[in-house]
Amino acid sequence: MILSLREMEVFRQVMERGSVTAAAEALRVSQPAVSKMLQQAEDRLGFKLFVRAKKRLLPTTEAHSLFPEALNAFAAIDMVQRMAGDLRSGRSGLLRLAVTPTLAHSILPAAIRAFCEERPDVTVNIRVMTMLEAASLVADHRVDIGMVIGHIGDARVAVSDLSVLSLGCVLPRGHPLCVREALTPADLAHEPIIAVARHLPAGQLVARAFEDANVELRVAVEVNQSSIACALAHGGAGVTVLDGFAVLAAREQGMETRPFLPSVPLPARILTSRQRPLPNLAARFLERLRMVV
């Protein structure tokens, strides 16, 4: 029959201290209580753990065989308790994120760096995907947090704003429009435009801004990721108008960027499950992410 944790602790203390009296003092219980628990342990096991010889309590052969395994059990329990404490405090564990490409290239790296420096035992799993895919993974509890750009109407997830940046332009170095402090659709009327696809939030807003200004959007290249649009603009293939987070990443990489007018704001948003509380580790990451942003 299996010993209780308390009986194992009594056995351990008697083995280590050599007497019932010393074990009782260490456990802060009475000597009869220790003797009773030892008797209960022997009854459960079906064999003697100690015998008395000349007023001394001596461990039996069975006790010597059992003692190393008891120590291993306590070591395992201590490890579980330490791990539980780490998980409670957010020092270790697995953080799972679903992130749209633009945020993966812009605000996420600095947040991950700061978070991992504080918690070197944490493993972060990042999945880069579309906004709808990220929402589905959050709703299905396959990731802890989604990070997306734009508006989403999935009722299965809770949505909170992280930051709002306006559209901006990325240009080749030395482009004539670099002399301007800001650019409008009219300024770009005769420029080859590297456009993000219209099914993406930034693509929709750019197309609408040109329509509202009654300016033709001359698309030279269409891509489905802002990082590709930036690379093409940097290589001289044209000018691109992107969400502010992509422009931020481009500026940090040394590319030429300018504000786009009229200002068109586009929010970055956090997605979490409506069906379960946010894991502690994920909550700690959100705190760090908002500080970085």
- Same domain for 81 and 109, yes or no, is no
Q: Do 144 and 276 share a structural domain?
A: yes
How is residue 150 written in tokens? Answer: 């734009």
Q: What global pTM score does this model have?
A: 0.67
Q: What is the bridge-based pairing of β-strands 168-171 and 256-259?
A: antiparallel
Tens of pLDDT, residues 76-109: 777 667 666 656 665 658 899 999 999 998 899 9
Give 125's pLDDT tier (boundaries 50, 70, 90): very high
Token pair belonging to 4: 């209780």
Per-residue pLDDT tens for 174-183?
Answer: 999 999 999 9
| pLDDT for the residue 56 | 80
pLDDT interval class at 119 (50, 70, 90)? confident
Number of separate domains in the chain: 3
Residue 74 pLDDT > 60, yes or no?
yes
Report the candidate in 165, 131, 127, 163 with the shortest Cα–Cα distance to residue 271. Answer: 131
The pLDDT value recorded for residue 83 is 61
Mean pLDDT, the chain, whole residue set: 88
Strand ranges in the chain using DSSP code E only, listed in sequence order: 50-53, 56-59, 92-99, 121-128, 145-149, 157-166, 168-171, 193-196, 219-223, 239-242, 256-259, 265-273
Do 287 and 254 share a structural domain?
no
154 and 109 in a common domain: yes
Please tell me the predicted confidence (pLDDT) of residue 208.
94
- Which tokens belong to 139? 């709703």
Q: Clarify whether residues 34 and 117 are in a common domain.
A: no
In angstroms, the Cα distances linking 165 to 15, 88, 187, 196, 263 are 67, 34, 21, 17, 9
Residues 82 and 107 grouped into a single domain: no
- 3-class DSSP string for 93-160: EEEEEEECHHHHHCCHHHHHHHHHHHCCEEEEEEEECCHHHHHHHHHCCCCCEEEEECCCCCCCEEEE
Residues 75 and 191 in one domain: no
130 and 176 belong to one structural domain: no
Joined tokens for residue 24: 């009782």
Cβ proximity of 103 and 148 under 8 Å: yes
Average pLDDT of the segment spanning 246-265: 91
- Over residues 33-57, the pLDDT tens digits come to 888 888 888 888 888 888 888 778 8
Domain shared by 176 and 258, yes or no: yes
Are 141 and 182 contained in the same domain? no
Confidence band for 257, pLDDT divided at 50, 70 and 90: very high
Summarize pLDDT for 182-241 with one digit per residue, the tens. Answer: 999 999 999 999 999 988 889 999 999 999 999 999 999 999 889 899 999 999 999 999
Let me know: does 271 contact 130? Beta carbons within 8 Å: no
Q: What is the pLDDT of residue 290?
A: 93
Confidence at residue 85, expressed as pLDDT on a 0 to 100 scale:
66
The verdict on 229 and 246 lying in the same domain is yes
Instruction: Name the pLDDT band for 28 (thresholds 50, 70, 90).
Output: confident
- How is residue 68 written in tokens? 């190393």
List the domain range (segments joined by +) for residue 133.
Answer: 96-162+268-292
3-state secondary structure (DSSP) of residue 13? helix
Residue-level pLDDT at 58: 87
Residue 252 pLDDT > 90: no
Which pLDDT value is given to residue 44?
A: 84
Average pLDDT on 276-281 reads 88
- Bridge partners of 94? 123
Q: The CATH number of the domain where 102 resides is what? A: 3.40.190.10
Beta pairing partners, 148: 269
Q: Could you tell me the pLDDT band of residue 1, with boundaries at 50, 70 and 90?
A: low
CA distance 209 to 116: 40
Domain boundary residue among 89, 108, 136? 89
Domain boundary residue, one of 33, 59, 89: 89
Cβ-based burial of 99 (10 A; exposed 0-12, middle 13-18, buried ≥19)? buried
Residue of 244 and 70 predicted with greater confidence: 244
Q: Give the pLDDT score at 244.
A: 92
Final residue before a domain boundary, out of 89, 105, 135: 89
CATH of the domain at 61: 1.10.10.10
Residues 186 and 256 occupy one common structural domain: yes
